[in-house]
A = this chain, B = another copy of it.
Amino acid sequence: MTKQGFPQAGNNLDPWYHHYAERAAGLRASEVRALFAVASRPEVVSLAGGMPFVSALPQDLVINAMDKVMLEQGAVALQYGSGQGIPLLREQILDVMALEGIRANADDVVVTTGSQHALELVSKLFLDPGDVVLSEGPSYVTAMVIFKSYQAEVEHVPMDEHGMIPEALREHIVRLRAAGKSIKLLYTIPSFHNPAGVTLSWERRVEILQIARENNILVLEDNPYGLLYFDQPAPDAMRSIEEDGVVYLGTFSKTLAPGFRVGWALAPHAIREKLVLANEAAVLSPSSFTQLVISEYLSTADWKGQINTFRGVYQERKNAMLGALEEFLPELTWTNPNGGFYVWVTLPERLDSKAMLPRAVKELVAYTPGTAFFADGDGRQNMRLSFCYPTPDSIRLGVRRLATVIRGELDLVDTFAGTDLLGAVDDKRRFSAPPPNIS
């Protein structure tokens, strides 16, 4: 009965094919997503995903917080809450942000279902079809998926080892304005960038905010990794310099655990009001239960000590990755992140990271091709290697396998050089806006 219910509409695969909103066309599976399935096979060393190493968090700390919440505030924890988030947690979030120089009022904090959802809500509030979002090139995959899902265009601004290049930003703005574009947001991950691994210098933070101010562009500062520095902290957050022009996004996913899905936005007051309404429309309220567990954890556990523990874990892993790269792949170049989760690797010109991936998986190592991090097809000569989740030994093994794959590729390319057996390569895509590349 139901199968023949909609013969006139859609197609054989989807009877509702012609029913979707225009924006639904922008929702496509990302390359990173497809990799999660591959990476979950135990024999594969995955240097692809961005999962934090939550096993470094003592379970007792979480269990104690949970039990105390249920015993002392069970009826609140199980109930709907405020669309803005629990007041005490919003106060505690101020303490977290103060570590990066931010002074704010808890009234301007909105708790969200991970900072990802803050990104979604800000995009819903600001992006009309055809609007432009400026972001670093490369940039965070799922931010770009959101921007495109609201039919906005992502324009990449080149980076170097000090982050986004201010002069390039100015040029992009002039060019886009001349083309009649409406530039709504400047999306940036200034500290320990995903995927580039670099950090925006203090001088550039000041200058980029100045450019945004002059051009009336709202800055969206995404800072999931800022507290996970290695030898020295990143410069203070951009939000510490500028209040009215920045929406700041933070999260407990990396400093505590992503399984709770608790992040936040700190926004100029009027934007904050609209964010709360958008949050209520989307989820009524973020989970009272997980908010209270985190609030209890922050009240009673040594959360700063725990962040130090995470720092140590990730620094050791980064060192393992860079050591293995130097040992097994000295002919490549890569970034040397001073925090966060990622190293951005540049391959020899004649290799294509996307085309090489199936062979890497066959050799039981996974990475994310650079193309995933560009809206325009760039990044074939790059790959993101994540050191957050695998152990140092696994990282070493993974890089060694990667070296085997790359050597094999180079042999292949050199053997067939000058023939067209390797397929066409789009040089324009391959070399424009080269991402940072510092060994």
Are B216 and A8 neighbours in the complex by a CB distance under 8 Å? yes
Are A259 and B146 neighbours in the complex by a CB distance under 8 Å? no
Are B268 and A20 neighbours in the complex by a CB distance under 8 Å? no
Are B57 and A78 neighbours in the complex by a CB distance under 8 Å? yes
Q: How far is the CA of A24 from the CA of B128 in the complex (A)?
A: 10
Copies of this chain held together in the complex: 2
Question: A406 within 8 Å of B by Cβ?
Answer: no
Are A218 and B19 neighbours in the complex by a CB distance under 8 Å? yes
> Which of A240-248, A336-344, A349-357 contacts the other chain?
A240-248
Among B20, B23, B78, B216, contact of A9 (Cβ-Cβ < 8 Å): B216
Q: Given known contacts A260-B289, A283-B113, A283-B261, is B78 in contact with A70 (CB within 8 Å)?
A: no
Are B245 and A5 neighbours in the complex by a CB distance under 8 Å? yes
Question: A75 within 8 Å of B by Cβ?
Answer: yes
Among B125, B142, B282, contact of A20 (Cβ-Cβ < 8 Å): B125
Enumerate chain B residues within 8 angstroms of A66, measured Cβ to Cβ.
Answer: 63, 66-67, 70
Nearest first, the 5 closest Cβ-Cβ pairs linking A and B are: A14-B270, A78-B257, A54-B78, A259-B288, A78-B259
Known: A17-B270, A142-B281; 16 extra A-B contacts, CB below 8 A, are A2-B245, A3-B243, A5-B242, A5-B245, A21-B127, A63-B67, A66-B70, A78-B258, A79-B258, A80-B253, A113-B117, A113-B287, A142-B284, A145-B277, A149-B278, A287-B287
Residues of A within 8 A of B (CB): 1-3, 5-6, 8-9, 13-17, 19-24, 27-29, 33, 51-52, 54-55, 57, 59, 62-63, 66-67, 70-71, 74-81, 83, 113-114, 116-117, 120, 124-128, 131, 142, 145-146, 149-150, 184, 213, 216, 218, 242-245, 253, 257-261, 268, 270-271, 274, 277-278, 280-290
Give 22 pairs: A residue, B residue, CB < 8 Å, sorted on A: A2-B242, A6-B213, A6-B245, A9-B216, A14-B271, A16-B271, A24-B124, A24-B274, A24-B278, A27-B274, A27-B277, A54-B78, A55-B75, A63-B71, A78-B259, A80-B253, A80-B259, A116-B282, A116-B283, A146-B282, A259-B288, A261-B285
